[in-house]
Amino acid sequence: MKIVAMALGLLLAGWYAAGRAPSVEAAETTAEAKVLLTVTGRIDAKGGAKGATFDLAALRALPTTTFQTATIWTEGRPTFTGVSLRVLLDAVHATGRSIHAVALNDYAVDIPVADAVEGGPIVAYEIDGKALPIRNRGPLWIVYPYDAKSDYRSEVIYARSIWQLDRIEIRD
């Protein structure tokens, strides 16, 4: 009984100290370490049932795509940088036919996997070399290269250009 009381006392003391003193782990946490995107559904990823999660560093570790394009939401032709939607789907071994994309405010849109082609949309995390803040459609925005072909300049594609992207579910 005395050992249990001592163990409980040490546990409580450690718990108290951990709550009062900053930990090394907390000090090393940066904005890049925050999960920005969760991909679930028909995927084969290490995250298992919880899906695959990506922080900014994980997104930047994937091959980068950059292009300039005019949008109906911005002025001029900003430069967008991110990961190709095709590369992202390949990274999680997606096998479905539909991408159910959901924003931070729970706005959702369905995008056919067929849209995820080379030279197609990206999951942008930068605009003109700067991170996309939440107040300016960030931290992630599915952006099509609207200037690349006229098919990308339609109401259907504009509706698929979801900003403040938070999660994706791959569906049949």
Q: Cα(114)–Cα(152) distance, rounded to whole angstroms?
A: 13
Is a pLDDT exceeding 90 seen at residue 9?
Answer: no
Within a domain: 72: yes
- C-alpha torsion 96→100→101→103, nearest 10: -150
106 torsion bin: left (phi>0), alpha (psi -120 to 50), beta (else):
left
CATH number at residue 114: 3.90.420.10
Is a pLDDT exceeding 50 seen at residue 2?
Answer: no
**Arithmetic mean of pLDDT over the chain:** 84
DSSP letter for each residue of 2-47: HHHHHHHHHHHHHHHHHHHS--HHHHH--GGGSEEEEEEES---TT
Within a domain: 135: yes
State the residue for tokens 């849109």: 109
Within a domain: 6: no
Please report, rounded to a whole number, the percentage of residues in the chain having pLDDT higher than 90: 76
Number of domains in the chain: 1
Q: Which of 11-25, 65-79, 92-106, 149-163 has the lowest mean pLDDT?
A: 11-25
Within a domain: 21: no
Can you give the pLDDT at residue 21?
32
Within a domain: 82: yes
Q: Over the stretch 100-157, which tens digit does the pLDDT of each residue have?
A: 999 999 999 999 999 999 999 999 999 999 999 999 999 999 999 999 999 999 999 9
Can you give the pLDDT at residue 160?
98
Q: Which of 14-18, 46-50, 154-158 has the lowest mean pLDDT?
A: 14-18
Within a domain: 13: no
Can you give the pLDDT at residue 165?
98
> Please, which pLDDT band fits residue 48 given cuts at 50, 70 and 90?
low
Averaged pLDDT, 36-46? 90
CB 59 within 8 A of CB 71: no
Is a pLDDT exceeding 70 seen at residue 16?
Answer: no
Within a domain: 5: no
Q: Beta strands 141-143 and 79-84: pairing type?
A: unpaired
Within a domain: 127: yes
Domain residue limits at 128: 29-171
